[in-house]
Amino acid sequence: AALLPRAVRGLTDGLYCGRHVCYEVLGVSRQASKAEIARAYRQLARQYHPDRHRGQPAGEGGAQAAHEKFLLIATAYETLKDEETRKDYDYMLDHPEEYYRHYYHYYSRRLAPKVDVRIVILVTVCAISVFQFFSWWSSYNEAINYLATVPKYRIQATEIARQQGLLNKTKEKGKNRRSKEEIREEEEEIIKDIIKNKIDIKGGYQKPKIYDILLFQILLAPFYLCKYMVWYCWWIYCFTIKGQEYGVEEKLYIIRRYMKMSQSQFDSLEDHQKETFLERQLWIRENYEAYKLEQEEELKKKMAMDPRWKRYRRWMKNEGPGRLTFIDD
């Protein structure tokens, strides 16, 4: 291998091969390819491997010296086998005066995480999405189980099942005859299936959709952003520039914004409540403010008439948390 100039001034203990030049340690030139570096490393590693010098006395040429030499060879190989690390090392040899820069690049690579941060983020998002999806399914099933116990929905579902002849199939005779417990379980599943298909559950207990999980929300974020920009420009053009009257959907949208409710929360409201909002023209700011004050006053009256609230106020007045009392001797 070609001899290398010793840039001793730029070599520092604790960085790369210390006071040694990594190329000289492996006996290769700075122009050596990856294959040549790997070949030189394998030859020297076999020669100085600690197992070959086990049992030899300490001192020069002994086991301890061979062990230190082996570590130096391994360090040189780790430095030169990676393209980025080798590039930093070559820059240090050519610019020994940039002392602090060499320290920064060396330790930033040593302390950098071994796993790609993007992979960690992707795995985390996928894990959250899976948990989110199954959590929503659990809430949805709980809602179905609850609705199956409500007489109003159970009677309707049972009537639909009878009309479709589904309940008659569970009471077969002969060889296919089953126990009462099995028939009851199957009828229960039929009723739940009808509730799932006939009742539109909204809000936090609605049927989960794959596009609502975090992963798809992130992937579809550019699409949603573009869609919102188009919708916003359309809104400005129609209702601000042209001065068109609001439709029902636009009125409900403004009311929802005034109430600071999400789309799912607003969808969970009963239809008669939305009709009341439209009748009172709550999309007009003044009407909404008056409605809001009415609701607050009504809530105060209900709380004033509530026995539990009265007891609480009495307790706060007479005792309350953190009151200090002095006992006269």
Instruction: Give start-end residues of each CATH 1.10.287.110 domain in the chain.
Output: 6-111
Of the listed ranges 29-43, 49-63, 123-137, the one predicted with least confidence? 49-63
Report the pLDDT value the prediction gives residue 142, as an integer from 0 to 100: 86
Q: HSE-up of 184 (CA within 13 Å, CB side)?
A: 3
Q: Is the pLDDT of residue 320 over 70?
A: no
* pLDDT band with cut points at 50, 70 and 90 for residue 4: very low
Q: Is the pLDDT of residue 2 over 60?
A: no
Report the pLDDT value the prediction gives residue 252, as an integer from 0 to 100: 93
- What is the sign of the dihedral through the CA atoms of 235, 237, 238 and 244? positive
Considering the chain, what is the average pLDDT of its residues? 81
Q: Is the pLDDT of residue 234 over 90?
A: yes
Interval 297-322 mean pLDDT: 72
Per-residue model confidence as pLDDT tens digits over 192-230: 888 887 766 665 567 778 888 889 989 999 999 999 999
DSSP class of residue 9 equals: G
Higher pLDDT, 118 or 73: 73
Q: Is the pTM of this model over 0.75?
A: no
Contacts of residue 113, defined as CB under 8 A and 6 or more positions apart, other chains included, come to 120
Cα(16)–Cα(18) distance, rounded to whole angstroms? 6
Contacts of residue 120, defined as CB under 8 A and 6 or more positions apart, other chains included, come to 113
Cα(86)–Cα(132) distance, rounded to whole angstroms? 45
Report the pLDDT value the prediction gives residue 58, as an integer from 0 to 100: 55
**Percent residues over pLDDT 70 in the chain:** 81
187 close to 160: Cβ distance less than 8 angstroms: no
Higher pLDDT, 198 or 22: 22
Of the listed ranges 136-140, 167-171, 214-218, 253-257, the one predicted with least confidence? 167-171
Cα(327)–Cα(65) distance, rounded to whole angstroms? 84
DSSP class of residue 244 equals: P
CATH number (1.10.645.10, 3.40.390.10, 1.10.287.110, 3.40.50.720) of 6-111 reads 1.10.287.110
